[in-house]
């Protein structure tokens, strides 16, 4: 009978200890949601090629071509009622036409870091939230109308145009 009482006391002590441990670990501060970073939690969103005509003296001088990639939190992207691509294009137009210091006719180097930061800040300001974490440039070109005509005439539109095989005429068959 002494063994039975000792076993009962041991079971009660073990149960009380387990309940106490569970209560202590369960009441710990809830884990703070990890901040989104480049290592996870962010979506990588690639824009289409965006072509913006650049005017000079009332005529189209050339075209600013860009393809941007940005990182944003999936939850915040899902909450937008306007497609983020539309906001991005509008902010690019606003930035390029609203900054007279950007003059492609002079072919001055562009401060790319400032350009990315300006676009990120403008979009975040427009949506009233830190939606865009980073803007990356995949393509950035300025082509005058003359350069576009030359590329069209020579077929010099990059690796894809150079790698494309010449079309071959259909083989002549002996049937007429």
CATH number at residue 81: 3.30.479
Task: Give me the mean pLDDT over the 147-160 stretch.
Answer: 75
Q: Total structural domains in the chain?
A: 1
Q: Answer whether residue 13 is part of any domain.
A: no
Enclosing domain of residue 99: 42-152
H/E stretch holding 59 reads: strand 59-73
Residue 23 placed within a domain: no
Residue 157 lies in a domain: no
pTM value is 0.61
Q: What is the model's pLDDT at position 109?
A: 77
The CA angle 88-115-126, to the nearest 5 degrees, is 40
Q: At 168, is the pLDDT very low, low, confident or very high (cuts 50, 70, 90)?
A: very low
Separation between Cα atoms, residue 132 and residue 122, nearest integer Å: 10
User: So what's the pLDDT on residue 23?
Assistant: 63
Does residue 32 lie within any of the structural domains?
Answer: no
Separation between Cα atoms, residue 50 and residue 88, nearest integer Å: 10
Pair 66, 92: CB distance under 8 Å: yes
pLDDT tens profile 42-84: 888 888 888 888 888 888 888 888 899 999 988 888 888 988 8
What tokens were used for 157?
Answer: 């539109």
Query: Long-range contacts: 30-39, Cβ < 8 Å, 24+?
Result: 36/73, 36/133, 38/71, 38/133, 38/134
Distance between CA atoms of residues 173 and 88, nearest Å: 54
In this structure, is residue 123 part of a structural domain?
yes
Task: Determine, yes or no, domain membership for 22.
Answer: no
User: pLDDT of 105-151, one tens digit each?
Assistant: 666 777 889 889 999 999 999 988 899 999 999 988 888 888 888 88
pLDDT score for 77: 87
Look at residue 166 and tell me if it is in a domain: no
- Residue 17: inside a domain: no
């Amino acid at each position: 009978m002494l063994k039975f009482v000792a076993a009962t006391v041991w079971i009660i002590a073990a149960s009380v200890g387990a309940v106490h441990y569970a209560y202590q670990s369960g009441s710990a501060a809830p884990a703070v949601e990890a901040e989104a970073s480049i290592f996870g939690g962010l979506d990588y969103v690639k824009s289409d090629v965006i072509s913006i005509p650049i005017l000079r003296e009332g005529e189209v001088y050339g075209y600013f071509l860009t393809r941007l990639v940005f990182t944003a939190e999936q939850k915040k992207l899902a909450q937008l009622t306007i497609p983020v691509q539309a906001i991005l294009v509008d902010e690019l137009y606003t930035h390029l036409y609203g900054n007279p210091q950007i003059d492609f006719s002079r072919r001055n180097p562009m401060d790319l870091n400032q350009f990315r930061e300006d676009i990120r800040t403008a979009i975040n300001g427009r949506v009233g939230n830190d939606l865009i974490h980073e803007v990356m440039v995949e393509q950035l070109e300025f082509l005058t109308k003359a350069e576009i005509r030359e590329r069209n005439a020579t077929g010099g539109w990059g690796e894809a145009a150079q790698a494309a095989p010449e079309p071959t005429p259909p083989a002549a068959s002996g049937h007429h």
